[in-house]
Amino acid sequence: MFAPLQNDTFLRACLRQPTPYTPVWLMRQAGRYLPEYRATRARAGSFMGLATNTDYATEVTLQPLERYALDAAILFSDILTVPDAMGLGLSFALGEGPKFAHPVRDEAAVERLQVPDMAQLRYVFDAVTSIRRALNGRVPLIGFAGSPWTLACYMVEGGGSSDYRLVKTLLYSRPDLMHRILAVNADAVALYLNLQIEAGAQAVMLFDSWGGVLADGAFQQFSLAYSQRVLRQLKKEHGGVRIPHLLFTKGGGLWLEEMAALQPDVLGLDWTVNLGQARQRVGDRVALQGNLDPNVLFASPAQIRAEVARLLHSWGPPGEAGNTGNGHIFNLGHGISQHTPPDHVGVLVEAVHELSTQARGTP
């Protein structure tokens, strides 16, 4: 059905197999920093107009691959498609971020929540298949979803938040309601990711973008436990091929051991984590993805190369598998800024490939 894969460095790195260089992709690599993305979005009229149209979603997913030698593509979509399908009424007001018309704030609203009919999310699965075909085997395609906790933050707050007051008030005062929201979210997300896998996603990533705002203790109960509920339900292979699972908790550096215990294949790291220390803590159990500060991309090409070199070097000496850097997937520690100069992304990708090839040396 799909063309054979020509570049498997990303998938091999996910499984901690040797690769000739460190593969690299960037969170939000198809996005507003690219003029061609802004042009397509203007044609689509809105963010959801882009995300719900198979052709547009395919077009923007492939845009960064035309410019840069990235080692993976990631589905162009949004984590809030799932609560939108639950009937919460998602919209993106220009320059204001996401809003839900019907936030979940009382017992009745929580009771009404259900795992949505996945037919409503068919536009996502169609996009996955379309993108996979358009990729034609160049690089693997990553599917994704928001973690149950992260979705709950938006569902209760009704949009973004600076203090998470509403969702945490619910968590501390009505933990029973919060557990019900999270259980529904977890089962919905698991179903959603499995259908992405069936549609053609070759790896899946769970974005726990707001796990790091929780207190120790609350994180384990309300974020980690439900990420686990998702991961346990995910297909581990499709058509006889392993499907790596990636888990990223922004601000979760203190909990790496507990996240590794969920047995994802890869843990994403933000830039506060020392890569060498993370490798010592959990690198014998999972691959690690990250973790450059996206703001480095505002510095000069020479400085970008120096920061890439520093990060690659921080991985440390070769492990049991031999080459230095095996088990590392280069990425930013968060989504790329819309203000990033596109040329600087090219400098970054080239630097990762060149410097990591050198670091591996001759076998």
Cite the active site residues.
28, 32, 41, 78, 154
Stretch that binds its own copies, among 138-146, 160-168, 178-186, 348-356 (CB under 8 A): 160-168
- C-beta of 311: minimal distance to its own copies in Å? 9
Query: Rounded to the nearest whole angstrom, what is the least distance from the CB of residue 40 to its own copies in the complex?
Result: 24
- Nearby residues of 268 by Cβ (< 8 Å), 6 or more positions away: 205, 246, 247, 248, 249, 288, 289, 290, 291, 331
Q: Which tokens belong to 100?
A: 């839900």
Residue 93 binds its own copies, judged by CB under 8 A: no
Nearer to its own copies, 85 or 177 (CB): 177
Query: Which residue, 18 or 276, is less far from its own copies as judged by CB?
Result: 276
**Alpha-carbon gap, residue 249 to 265, rounded angstroms:** 14
Tell me the DSSP string of 18-63.
Answer: --SS--B--TT-SSTTSHHHHHHHHHH-SHHHHHT-HHHHHHHHHH
DSSP H helical ranges for the chain? 9-14, 35-44, 47-51, 54-67, 81-83, 107-112, 122-135, 148-157, 165-173, 175-199, 218, 225-233, 256-260, 275-282, 301-314, 342-360
11: left (phi over 0), alpha (psi -120 to 50) or beta: alpha
Q: Least distance to its own copies from the beta carbon of 195, Å?
A: 34
By CB under 8 A, is residue 272 in contact with its own copies? Answer: yes
Q: State how far the Cα of 84 lies from the Cα of 81, in Å rounded to an integer.
A: 5
Q: Which is nearer to its own copies, 28 or 132 (CB)?
A: 28
Residue 180 is encoded by which pair of tokens?
A: 């019900």
Q: Does 286 bind its own copies (CB under 8 A)?
A: no
Q: Count residues near its own copies (CB under 8 A).
A: 38
| Binds its own copies by CB under 8 A, chosen from 94, 95, 119, 163 | 163
Decide the pairing of beta strands 241-242 and 245-249. unpaired
Q: Which of 200, 253, 264, 327 binds its own copies (CB under 8 A)?
A: 253
From the list 295, 318, 357, 359, which residue makes contact with its own copies (rule: CB under 8 A)?
295
Residue 80: what residue type? L
Least distance to its own copies from the beta carbon of 332, Å? 11
**Alpha-carbon radius of gyration of the chain:** 20
**Minimal distance, residue 298 CB to its own copies, in Å:** 4
Token pair of 59 as six digits: 């077009």
Report 301-360 residues binding its own copies (CB under 8 A): 303, 307, 310, 314, 333, 337, 339
Binding to its own copies by residue 273, rule CB under 8 A?
A: yes
Q: Which stretch binds its own copies (CB under 8 A): 80-88, 100-108, 179-187, 292-300?
A: 292-300
Nearer to its own copies, 203 or 282 (CB): 282
List the Cα angle 52/56/60 in 5-degree steps. 115
Query: Which residues ranging from 99 to 128 are in contact with its own copies (CB under 8 A)?
Result: none
Q: Specify the pairing of strand 287-292 against strand 328-332.
A: parallel
Residue 168 or 360: which CB sits closer to its own copies?
Answer: 168
Judged by beta carbon, residue 69 or residue 215, the one nearer its own copies is 215
Q: Is residue 23 involved in binding its own copies (CB under 8 A)?
A: no
Residues 6+ apart with CB under 8 A from 15: 242, 244, 265, 287
The bridge status of strand 241-242 relative to strand 237-238 is antiparallel
Question: Does position 251 bind its own copies by CB under 8 A?
Answer: yes
Residues binding its own copies (CB under 8 A): 163-165, 168-169, 171-173, 212, 214-219, 251, 253-254, 271-275, 291-293, 295-296, 298-300, 303, 307, 310, 314, 333, 337, 339
